[in-house]
Structure 1
Amino acid sequence: MKSALLVVLTALLFRLILAAFSGLGIDESYMVAASSHFAASYFDHPLASWWLELGARHLFGSAAPIVVRLPFVLLSGVASWLLYLVTARLYGVKAAFWAVLAYSLSPVFSLAFGSWVLPDGPLNTALLAVLYALIRALGLPEGKPAPRWWLAAGLFAGLAMLSKYSAALVLVGAALGVLLDKVGRRELARPWPWLGVMLALALFAPVVVWNAQHHWASFGYQGGRAEGVRIRPLMPLSIWGGEALFVLPWLWAPMVWLLVRAFLAGATARVSWLLGWAAIIPVLLFAVVGFWSSTHILFHWAAPGYLMLFPLLGDWATRRSVRMLRIVAVITGGLLVAASLIIVALVQFGLPPLLAHSFKPGKSPMLQAVDWTSIGPALPPGIDAIAAQRWFDAGKIGYALRRDGIKLPVTVFGPEPHQFAFTTPPASLLGKDVLIIAMPGALMQTYERFAPDFASLKPGPVLPVLDHGQMLLAIPTFIGADMKKAPQA
């Protein structure tokens, strides 16, 4: 236990360093910029991650990176310890140590989900809590079922659904595992599992109500990601390859093999059976969707499935050479720490001059890694709001203003406004003077598009995005006076 605790605390330390000394990425900036109040749900995801960063901002009175990221870093520690508890109960403390170590070395789980403002951090914590409650309720591995744990499973299942809709994939898989387990079917004849289901549904109800009140916007957006037909026979392999890189190939390969073995062993191996069913839907679904859909599949979407396989991986590691495992762990940890420190160094000190000058304006990768706080002093006086044409530009600009305490509404005049459509609807700016961000596209195209919507439209200042004095991007603008009608998407 002490060794596992040391791993958890060491990983927390490096996540805190990364969280404190690197700027917010595109998705993070968007979440902080587009959230202005506590709501029953939001456009992209349910409420959990939005409430966490909002709560941190209200508590500390700041939108600094370490502040908005702090709840997610702390939750990563809770998730690590829940994984330890789950694995220790199922396979023993040695397996639990290796499971926690593998989790802490996996970039997507340890760094991305463990320190960034993303819904995946709360999701992972809630799903591991569901898994722990479920094995207690079923009496796994060889104990007596504890029916009241079904209420805890329902509570955490509701919290998982309040984190991200993809929680349903793991929950449905776990439910199938219970249904196809002899003891599980016997437990389903009692009222406790159904009371847990009712509790989960009650917690998720506000999200349904919000969607009903907003024309099912969030459900429609997430449900539409599999639309479009484009047969790509090799895409599943590409998707699994990307997932392997995110998890780490030398963790991903044994995980997949252990998943196959879990199903080959069948329902008599109750523990691996449950874990396999909890994992299988996310692992398979997105690869299958990639085969026939034109949707761009993001590799981290399947991560909840792999999360369920860490206990199996920990047990597998106990039968491998300790010396070899230590060598792999040291090398992996060294690479992870080095990558984290390089990111921090680049953000804190900027790119070396030779490398910085090799990127054309607007093409530097540092545009995503640094906060665009240099635009604040260049804003013209007298404007009432800022409008970008893309949600991710609005996110970077809006976060820069929020971090500097500049209270200007930010919205999107474009076809995909996301949460900005609800935070600052374009129609709410009628009669206002709006600074319009001219990217993307030519200045003339921007002028012709928005000139009819304002009493007058004239060139505004160029907003500089700087990194340690190096110009990363020059943003042209227009000032629209007295908005007459909301621009069409």
Structure 2
Amino acid sequence: MWKTHRWLLIALILLTICRWIMAGAIELTEDESYYHLWSEHPALSYYSKGPGVAATMGVSSFILGDSAFGIRFFSPLLGLATSLLIFRLARSIFDTNTAAWSVVLLNILPIFNAGSILLTIDPLSIFFWTAAMLALWRALHRSNASFTWWPLTGLLIGLGFLCKYTNALQLISIILLLVIVRRWRPHWRKPGPYLLLATFLVCTLPVIIWNAQNQWITVTHLIERGQLDEETGVNPGEFFSYLGMHAGVYSPVIFLGLLAALYLGIKRVGKDFGETFLILFAAPIIILYFILSFKEAGEANWTAPGMLSLGVLMIHYFQLARWSNRTKGIVRATAITLSILLTALSLNLDVLRKMGVQWPYSLDPTTRLTGWQSTADAVEDVIRKSQDNLGDGIFLICDRYQSAASLHHHLPDDLNLIRPTEAHPKVFIPQSSIILNQFSFWPRYDSIAGATEGEPGYTPFLGKNALFISTHPRSNPPEEIRRAFRHTQPLSTVEIRRLGMKLRDVRIFVCYDYQGISL
């Protein structure tokens, strides 16, 4: 057992070092730039998420700087910690062999490797989800745990909720466990579950307070995101598309195994304590998003927390399968090889292009995540060449909030841009009276037409020129931009290329004499 622990730990440490190296070598994605911009505007909560990811990025970038490594520093550590937690959980429920293979499975998954390099809400969510499961397992099996492991479980679920709201679904799993498993029903008569709930509710206060101050905008956003406000019909094509996404990010062979484990686990609910525990932390979230996908395919990472315990269950069932050792060896080797190959490609699809495969970026789903430093360099070049003709100080408007966040991060601070305070972003989005994203809560450029200095509605942007940056092909300034300026005209179209192929077009327009909004 000690040899298993030692070699597994050494492998995980080496893998973590490799992930740190990659974290510093890969440029920030749009989502990471957006969340890092949040960290520059500390708040109790944000438009679509709690404060967890912004706080994490704020701490690491404060200590290590705003480089890709500094922003992502915690992500490889979260991958390491989650792996160790999975090992402890699987060993507690089954045995050391199952635990070791569960860790191997976890660390060859394309989705987990991406999440252990890039820092988004998912590595934080998965870490707290796993930690909460382990704490609950101990709460269920240790006497006098009402004032220790139960509230700790509530704290971990609450911290996970502050990173990703779906972590609250663990409460449903806990209720089902205490209802279905007769052995654990007596806990309803003890203070443990109620202390868990109370601790969790305390953790939700930042989100509740912020939303109470902002028209409960997050609730509206989540309803719209799930299309729960629309009477749309069932679309089986969306469901199969969602399954296809999962096959890609989990690798096809492993995903088939996970589906088999889901089926077997549901059939065996109540027959084994460990199996029931794991399946009830997997089935609710997975089934929920699979059902919602009949309306519209969501993101494959939404089900990721449930896949953690399902992976442990899959390893357990695989070891119990009455297959020959030769058959198991072939299946295991195929699954591992294919998953490692997909992981390598998902982290750098340019490998195929360097091998001579002419895969156009227009058909590459990861294109929106890459090339933002070169895009910012091209935009910077246009700005510097245009500033003499556009007057003293301009401001920038981008068509998408993700692109605006990326340009904000990558553009240098010495550009002659109108930025009255550090709270103003370097790049704005078209202002709207409708709250659409976090940019709506930060200082804006919009003002009332005709207002003079010192009057309400006046800003230093009045009368100034702007550049409108479109990252959509053949996209023109929207109507609200054309109305707000005296005149707009095309300035430049920049083709961003990578490995000799077109990555994206960036169209830049001059917007003359900002007039403000007419009331």
Q: If the TM-score is normalised by the length of the shorter chain, which range does it land in?
A: 0.7 to 0.9
Equivalent position to 2:428, from 411, 420, 431: 411
The reply to whether residue 394 of structure 1 matches residue 404 of structure 2 is yes
The equivalent residue for 2:477 is 446
The equivalent residue for 2:222 is 222
Letter in 2 for 1:160: G
Work out the CA distance in 2 between the residues paired with 1:12 and 1:399: 26
The equivalent residue for 1:43 is 47
Give the deviation of 1:367 after TM superposition. 5.5
The reply to whether residue 335 of structure 1 matches residue 341 of structure 2 is yes
Deviates more, 1:125-134 or 1:74-83: 74-83
Letter in 2 for 1:278: F
Work out the CA distance in 2 between the residues paired with 1:449 and 1:403: 28
The alignment partner of 2:467 has SS state of strand
The equivalent residue for 2:93 is 90
1:323-402 matched pairs, under 5 angstroms: 323-324=329-330, 327-328=333-334, 331-332=337-338, 334-336=340-342, 338-339=344-345, 342-343=348-349, 355=358, 366=367, 368-372=369-373, 373-374=376-377, 375-380=379-384, 381=387, 382-401=392-411
Say whether the 8 Å CA contact 1:127–1:157 is kept in structure 2.
Answer: yes
Work out the CA distance in 2 between the residues paired with 1:61 and 1:458: 38
Give the deviation of 1:174 after TM superposition. 3.0
Instruction: Report Cα offsets for 1:412-439 as digits up to 9, x if no partner.
Output: 1167741122234343794413322245
Aligned length: 475
The equivalent residue for 1:254 is 257
The alignment partner of 2:78 has SS state of helix
The equivalent residue for 1:437 is 469
Q: CA RMSD in A?
A: 3.3
Higher relative contact order (CA 8 A, sep 6+): 1
Give the deviation of 1:468 after TM superposition. 7.1
Equivalent position to 2:61, from 57, 63, 66: 57
Instruction: Report Cα offsets for 1:152-209 as digits up to 9, x if no partner.
Output: 1011011110110111223322332223222332112111221121111111111111
Say whether the 8 Å CA contact 1:170–1:278 is kept in structure 2.
Answer: yes
Say whether the 8 Å CA contact 1:430–1:485 is kept in structure 2.
Answer: no
Instruction: Report Cα offsets for 1:117-168 as digits up to 9, x if no partner.
Output: 21011000000010000000000xxx65733200110110111101101112
Work out the CA distance in 2 between the residues paired with 1:312 and 1:120: 21
Say whether the 8 Å CA contact 1:388–1:437 is kept in structure 2.
Answer: yes
Say whether the 8 Å CA contact 1:86–1:311 is kept in structure 2.
Answer: no
Distance 1:264 1:355, change over 3 A: closer
Deviates more, 1:316-325 or 1:51-60: 316-325
Letter in 2 for 1:77: L
Say whether the 8 Å CA contact 1:447–1:457 is kept in structure 2.
Answer: no
The alignment partner of 1:273 has SS state of helix
The equivalent residue for 2:455 is none
1:72-471 matched pairs, under 5 angstroms: 72-109=75-112, 111-139=113-141, 144=143, 146-147=145-146, 148-227=148-227, 228=230, 229-291=232-294, 293=295, 295-319=296-320, 321=325, 323-324=329-330, 327-328=333-334, 331-332=337-338, 334-336=340-342, 338-339=344-345, 342-343=348-349, 355=358, 366=367, 368-372=369-373, 373-374=376-377, 375-380=379-384, 381=387, 382-401=392-411, 409-413=426-430, 417-427=436-446, 430-432=459-461, 433=464, 434-440=466-472, 445-446=476-477, 449-454=480-485, 457=488, 460=491, 465=496, 467=498
Work out the CA distance in 1 between the residues paired with 2:268 and 2:356: 58
Say whether the 8 Å CA contact 1:123–1:167 is kept in structure 2.
Answer: yes
Work out the CA distance in 2 between the residues paired with 1:168 and 1:177: 15
Give the deviation of 1:330 after TM superposition. 5.2
Letter in 1 for 2:217: A
Say whether the 8 Å CA contact 1:82–1:132 is kept in structure 2.
Answer: yes
Work out the CA distance in 1 between the residues paired with 2:144 and 2:93: 14
Say whether the 8 Å CA contact 2:50–2:165 is kept in structure 1.
Answer: yes
Work out the CA distance in 2 between the residues paired with 1:56 and 1:125: 17
Gaps of 5+ in 1: none
TM superposition score normalised by structure 2: 0.81
Distance 1:46 1:284, change over 3 A: same
Work out the CA distance in 1 between the residues paired with 2:512 and 2:285: 49
Give the deviation of 1:41 after TM superposition. 0.9
Work out the CA distance in 1 between the residues paired with 2:107 and 2:357: 34
Give the deviation of 1:310 after TM superposition. 2.5
